[in-house]
Structures are given as structure tokens and as C-alpha cells.
């Protein structure tokens, strides 16, 4: 295959104009792209309801009393046959009971230090009532219900499929860097950096409203972005048809990834516009969904420099994923 013929390629440094990050591509540090597999054996999904309720798991159907307070569920009210539940995190990083964020008096011995009270929201989206089901096992409509209602951002401390939403009183530095980088590209080129992504060799698949690609300067091996075809700054403005379409393409990407990479653990993040953006910012902020399979370990070099080493060229990863037969 073409990716096997390119093993003699020299290393490259590529700049991502969306994140303003440099990535080193060094194929000599890895096997062929088609050989990437998660080391643990793939798990199988149980098909019986009885096997899908695990003792002691607070997220399973019937164990609602083990959870932190519920915010809402789908269907609504107290329907015991719920599909999705949103609850408060039992161990929240921030405190929703505090007053609106105000500056805390700084330590007089620490000049220039800024401190805010730890106000914020930390909630959990339980994506399915059954323990052994994963996001990719749900239908496109069921995945769209997770998106349409919640805009979840992935993270995992329990094996039951769930996501986390954290509301911060500040704009995090990675988000600021992304917005500033998009602004810089727009000022120089007069166009949105995401709309201008060239997808010819990077395309994995596409749907009515979205495309899936391996980004040109992918930070991680087999990283995937799902991007709205039409310019859109706010994820929460998805309509029902777009949400179902996104759910279908995400399901396909997760299944391709599981098939090719031996069902690795993964994170997915929705990179959307900060809440309080002004109208002049909207032309250059374009939301997208990022999927990162956990295949490599972030080492000291990456931590020290913010510059990552990826052993798989994006166009090779895209070709491998593109050629994985679409799972039924």
C-alpha cells in the first residue's frame, strides 16, 4: 500500500494554523501506519440486558440512588426507563454553590498573582443506562440526543460510557490560543482557517453536513476531526437533522477506529466558540469535534515544549482509516 512505500520519508515539522502548534512527524520512530494497534485485547459487548447492569456501578439503570443529584434526564421527569441522565459530579473540580467568580485577595508576598474563587460547574452525562454499551453502539439518533441536549466533552474515570461538561469562569489558555490563531489566519488570508482545510489526502469520510479528516498537523497518531461543512461558530446551534447526521458520522469513525486499532480508549472534545464572543469574531471561529485514540504516551519533550512528535503522517493515517470497510 502507499503508506508502506513512504517509510523512507524524511521527518517534517508542520504548523497547525488552527491551534498554532508545531508538530514533528517522524515515521522512523514507528512501524507501518497499518500496524498501529492498541495493546489490550478488544472487548466484546454483551447482548443481554441482565449482563448490562453491573453491581456497584452508579451509572447503571436502577442505581440512580448511588449518584450525585440529577440535573435532568431524557425522557424527562422521573421515567425509570431513561436513555440519558445528566448529574452533578460527585467529586467536582469546581463549586457551583459559590457566588459568581470574584477576585480573591492575593497573598501580599506573591506579587502579580491573580486568584479567583473556584466557582464553576462540573457535570456528568451518562450516555446509556447499560454498562457494556459504548457510544459507538448507540444509533445515530441516540447519539444525536446526547449531542443535541448536552454538548458533551469526553473523559473517563469509570468504565460505564459517560462524558463530562465543565463550565469555567475563565477562557482556558488552549482555547485562547486556538481563537487567536484563527484570528491571525483570518487577518492574513481573509478566510476561516478551518473552512480552508484542504481535504484531498486527509479525508476519511463525509456526510450531508460534515466531513471527517485526519488534520494536516495531527498532534496524535490517527487523530480525527469532524468538521461542519458550512461555517459555524457555535456547537449548540446544531439543529435536529445536523445532530443526527453528526451522530452517524461519529459512530462510523469510532467503529473504524475500533476495527483498525483494536478498540483503543479514546477522548473526544468539542472545540466550540467561547460563550461571550462578539459578532466580529464569528467569521473566523469554526467549531469541530476532535477524537484522540490513546495510542502513545506524552513524554517530557512534549510537556516541556508543547511541540509533539507524531510517528504517523496524517495522509497515511487517513488512507488506512478510509480503507477500513464500513462496519455494519
Question: First CA to last CA across the chain, in angstroms?
Answer: 25
From 72-76, 83-87, 105-109, 164-168, the region with the lowest mean pLDDT:
105-109
Cα separation of 247 and 145, whole Å?
9
Question: Looking at residue 51, what is its pLDDT?
Answer: 58
Please tell me whether 192 is known to bind a ligand: no
- Is 60 annotated in a binding site? The answer is yes
Q: Please give the mean pLDDT across all residues of the chain.
A: 85
pLDDT band at 3 (very low <50, low <70, confident <90, very high): very low
Least-confidence region, from 5-19, 50-64, 146-160: 146-160
CB atoms within 10 A of CB 184: 14
Give the chain's radius of gyration (CA, Å).
21
- Contact residues for 98 (Cβ-Cβ < 8 A; gap 6+): 117, 118, 119
Q: Kind and range of the H or E element at 292?
A: strand 288-293
Q: pTM value?
A: 0.85
Range in 5-19, 41-55, 69-83, 101-115 with the lowest mean pLDDT:
41-55
Residues 213, 225 contacting (CB under 8 angstroms): yes
C-alpha span between 270 and 254 (Å, rounded): 15
Q: 188-244: per-residue pLDDT in tens?
A: 999 999 999 988 899 999 999 999 999 999 999 999 999 999 999 999 999 999 999
Q: Is the Cβ–Cβ distance between 285 and 277 less than 8 Å?
A: yes
Average pLDDT over residues 264-288: 92
Q: How far apart are CA 136 and CA 29, in angstroms?
A: 31
Of 192, 222, 183, residue with least CA distance to 204:
222
152 has pLDDT over 60: no
pLDDT of res. 314: 95
Report whether pLDDT(180) > 90: yes
More confident site: 287 or 34: 287
* Active-site option among 122, 150, 162, 209: 162
pLDDT at 149 over 80: no
Q: Is 160 annotated to bind ligand?
A: yes
Q: Could you tell me the three cell numbers for 179?
A: 481563537
- E strands present in 175-248: 203-206, 210-213, 224-228
Instruction: Determine how β-strand 121-126 pairs with β-strand 84-88.
Output: antiparallel
Q: Which three cell numbers stand for residue 245?
A: 447526521
Res 280: pLDDT = 93
- Is 57 a known ligand-binding residue? yes
Choose among 288, 317, 225: nearest CA to 36: 317
Res 88: pLDDT: 94
Confidence (pLDDT) at 103: 65
pLDDT band at 154 (very low <50, low <70, confident <90, very high): very low
Residues 79-131 have pLDDT tens digits of: 788 999 999 998 999 998 887 666 666 666 666 667 788 889 999 999 899 98
- Tell me: pLDDT of 29 over 50: yes
3-state SS class at 13: strand
231 is catalytic: no
Highest mean pLDDT among 49-58, 94-103, 305-314: 305-314
Could you give the angle at which helices 314-323 and 240-261 cross, rounded to 10 degrees?
A: 100
- CB–CB of 216/317 below 8 Å? no
Amino acid at each position: 500500500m502507499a503508506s508502506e512505500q513512504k517509510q523512507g520519508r524524511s521527518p517534517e515539522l508542520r504548523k497547525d494554523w488552527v491551534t498554532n502548534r508545531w508538530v514533528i512527524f517522524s515515521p522512523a520512530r514507528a512501524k507501518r501506519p497499518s500496524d498501529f494497534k492498541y495493546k489490550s485485547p478488544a472487548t466484546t459487548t454483551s447482548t443481554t440486558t441482565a449482563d448490562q447492569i453491573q453491581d456497584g456501578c452508579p451509572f447503571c439503570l436502577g442505581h440512580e440512588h448511588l449518584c450525585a443529584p440529577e440535573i435532568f434526564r431524557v425522557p424527562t421527569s422521573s421515567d425509570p426507563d431513561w436513555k440519558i441522565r445528566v448529574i452533578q459530579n460527585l467529586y467536582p473540580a469546581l463549586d457551583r454553590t459559590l457566588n459568581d467568580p470574584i477576585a480573591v485577595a492575593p497573598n501580599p508576598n506573591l506579587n502579580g498573582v491573580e486568584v479567583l474563587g473556584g466557582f464553576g460547574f462540573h457535570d456528568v452525562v451518562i450516555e446509556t443506562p447499560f454498562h457494556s454499551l459504548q457510544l459507538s453502539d448507540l444509533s445515530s439518533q441516540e447519539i444525536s440526543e446526547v449531542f443535541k441536549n448536552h454538548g458533551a466533552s469526553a473523559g473517563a474515570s469509570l468504565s460505564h460510557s459517560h462524558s463530562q461538561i465543565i463550565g469555567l469562569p475563565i477562557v482556558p489558555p488552549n482555547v485562547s490560543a486556538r481563537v487567536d490563531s484563527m484570528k491571525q489566519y483570518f487577518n492574513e488570508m481573509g478566510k476561516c482557517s478551518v473552512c480552508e482545510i484542504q481535504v484531498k489526502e486527509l479525508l476519511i469520510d463525509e456526510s450531508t453536513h460534515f466531513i471527517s479528516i485526519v488534520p494536516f498537523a495531527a498532534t496524535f497518531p490517527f487523530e480525527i476531526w469532524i468538521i461542519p461543512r458550512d461555517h459555524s461558530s457555535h456547537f449548540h446551534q446544531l439543529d435536529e437533522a445536523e445532530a443526527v447526521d453528526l451522530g452517524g458520522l461519529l459512530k462510523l469513525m469510532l467503529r473504524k477506529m475500533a476495527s483498525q486499532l483494536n478498540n483503543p480508549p479514546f477522548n473526544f472534545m468539542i472545540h466550540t466558540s467561547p460563550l461571550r464572543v462578539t459578532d466580529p469574531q464569528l467569521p473566523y471561529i469554526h467549531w469541530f469535534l476532535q477524537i484522540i485514540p490513546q495510542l502513545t504516551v506524552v513524554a517530557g519533550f512534549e510537556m516541556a515544549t508543547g511541540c509533539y512528535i507524531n510517528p504517523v503522517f496524517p495522509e497515511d493515517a487517513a488512507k488506512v482509516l478510509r480503507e477500513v470497510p464500513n462496519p455494519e
